[in-house]
């Protein structure tokens, strides 16, 4: 339901709209009231708000960005298997989204820094700012039976955006988990598992934790990431508001995109950096495309995704050729995969089947997860987990867009923890995989102005 501006302030406009909707006592469905507002940067708007949960999202290649605040309705579950959209997603109005976050491994012990994020969460926000080009709207979601008084507090507390000139000071300390010697021990364990044929591939990750003199501004980080990493998904999640733990990601990898019965996904594995000189850059691309080790790693991912989709779909189609996904600072092998879902199969069913893919876990899945729990000296939390939304397009069709939360960091007061991993297969070497992760962490650190603290 949309309303033209007719009051002197945004809050007054929304209150008028809410009162109009809530005056109808028999409302069996979730309602959205929406007003047009001046062109507003969703990140700057979000930075001005208090409370939580707070979220920002821009899909890969999308012109549209959204910032969300509060929770009109939420679904909290221990795992994707236990999560359900019954009486939530089915009742969403056209254009509405429930924002999804999920831990990489819901069976792993939860680190204290990740406690605020829960296991699996789907949140329908109370208030949402949507920017598409120069068109901008502000929406409030109202549940069946809610009165105007029950939603007025959220509206009354909304603040106008303010320009951000926040600077990020250089950190004074960096700690790596694992350190280089422990990394070598981890890979030797993996090589032993390969030789005994217990594992075919395992993705092992590192965490680089930077400590600053002052609290880190998560919005300023997100602004820099978005400007420096085109062709990526960009997301920020702060379950307790921006003064609490905040997860940020600039990830190139799609997990699923759903519209109606059609689903798109992709196998992404294998990495090379970019080079400034065109000739050198072309050599790195050709090296990636011809690398036996990288193509073998990529094949594990492609085969596993196809096998997981087949029981859920009437038809599965895979690209004939593997190509190079070219980003601002790196390249990956990519194969596109599409499917037409069977009746009564929804986005959550697909997520349960696909996550974790061998691109972030390994193969076989159970054994690789056991290895990650045993070897990694930290909790991954949302790193490499699903992050995105499930809801309805503007025309009312079932839809979803969910990324894999790699190339990510956790802001917690004066610390910034950066996470990245590498696929370990027979033929990997500890030094090469250490260098690959250092390149990924270094790229993330550079766009945040941390070049002086990249080297461990």
- Residues classed as catalytic: 201, 253
CB atoms within 10 A of CB 12: 13
Q: Hey, what are 385's tokens?
A: 């987990």
Task: Give CA–CA dist 18/35, Å, rounded.
Answer: 11
- Other beta carbons within 10 angstroms of residue 273's beta carbon come to 16
Q: Rounded to whole angstroms, how far apart are CA atoms 120 and 81?
A: 10
Residue 438 CA, distance from chain mean position: 21
Identify the residue whose tokens are 């120069």: 134
Whether residue 416 contacts residue 209, with contact meaning beta carbons closer than 8 Å, is answered with yes
Q: How many CB atoms lie within 10 A of CB 167?
A: 9
Where in 218-329 does DSSP place strands (E)? 233-238, 246-251, 254-259, 262-273, 313-318, 323-326
What is the separation of C-alpha 89 from the centre of its chain, rounded to a whole number of angstroms?
20
H or E element that contains 434: helix 430-447
Cα–Cα dist 456/437, whole Å: 12
**The two structure tokens encoding residue 255:** 């997990």
For residue 312, give the 3-state DSSP assignment.
helix
């Amino acid at each position: 339901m949309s309303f033209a501006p007719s009051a002197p302030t945004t809050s007054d406009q929304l209150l008028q709209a809410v009162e109009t909707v809530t005056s109808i006592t028999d409302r069996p469905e979730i309602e959205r009231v929406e007003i047009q507002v001046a062109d507003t940067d969703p990140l700057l708007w979000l930075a001005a708000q208090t409370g939580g949960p707070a979220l920002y999202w821009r899909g890969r290649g999308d012109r549209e960005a959204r910032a969300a605040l509060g929770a009109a309705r939420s679904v909290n579950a221990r795992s994707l298997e236990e999560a359900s959209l019954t009486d939530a997603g089915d009742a969403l109005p056209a254009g509405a989204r429930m924002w999804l976050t999920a831990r990489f491994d819901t069976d792993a012990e939860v680190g204290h820094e990740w406690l605020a994020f829960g296991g699996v969460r789907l949140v329908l926000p109370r208030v949402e700012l949507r920017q598409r080009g120069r068109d901008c709207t502000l929406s409030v979601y109202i549940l069946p039976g809610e009165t105007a008084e029950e939603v007025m507090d959220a509206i009354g507390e909304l603040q106008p955006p303010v320009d951000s000139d926040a600077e990020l000071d250089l950190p004074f300390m960096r700690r790596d988990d694992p350190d280089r010697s422990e990394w070598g021990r981890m890979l030797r364990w993996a090589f032993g598992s390969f030789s005994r044929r217990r594992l075919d591939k395992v993705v092992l990750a590192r965490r680089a934790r930077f400590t600053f003199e002052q609290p880190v501004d998560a919005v300023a980080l997100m602004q820099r990431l978005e400007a420096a990493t085109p062709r990526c998904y960009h997301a920020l999640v702060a379950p307790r508001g921006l003064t609490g733990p905040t997860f940020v990601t600039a990830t190139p990898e799609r997990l699923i995109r759903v519209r109606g019965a059609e689903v798109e996904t992709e196998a992404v594995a294998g990495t090379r950096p970019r080079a400034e000189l065109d000739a050198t850059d072309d050599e790195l691309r050709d090296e990636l495309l011809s690398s036996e080790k990288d193509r073998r790693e990529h094949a594990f991912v492609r085969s596993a995704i196809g096998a997981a989709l087949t029981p859920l779909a009437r038809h599965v189609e895979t690209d004939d050729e593997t190509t190079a996904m070219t980003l601002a600072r790196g390249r990956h092998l990519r194969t596109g995969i599409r499917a037409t879902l069977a009746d009564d199969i929804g986005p959550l069913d697909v997520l349960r089947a696909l996550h974790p893919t061998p691109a972030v876990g390994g193969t076989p899945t159970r054994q690789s997860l056991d290895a990650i729990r045993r070897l990694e000296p930290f909790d991954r939390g949302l790193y490499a987990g699903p992050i995105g939304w499930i809801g309805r397009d503007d025309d009312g069709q079932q839809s979803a867009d969910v990324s894999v939360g790699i190339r990510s960091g956790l802001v917690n007061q004066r610390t910034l923890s950066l996470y990245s991993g590498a696929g370990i297969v027979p033929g990997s070497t500890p030094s090469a995989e250490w260098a690959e992760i250092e390149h990924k962490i270094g790229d993330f650190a550079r766009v945040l102005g941390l070049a002086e603290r990249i080297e461990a």
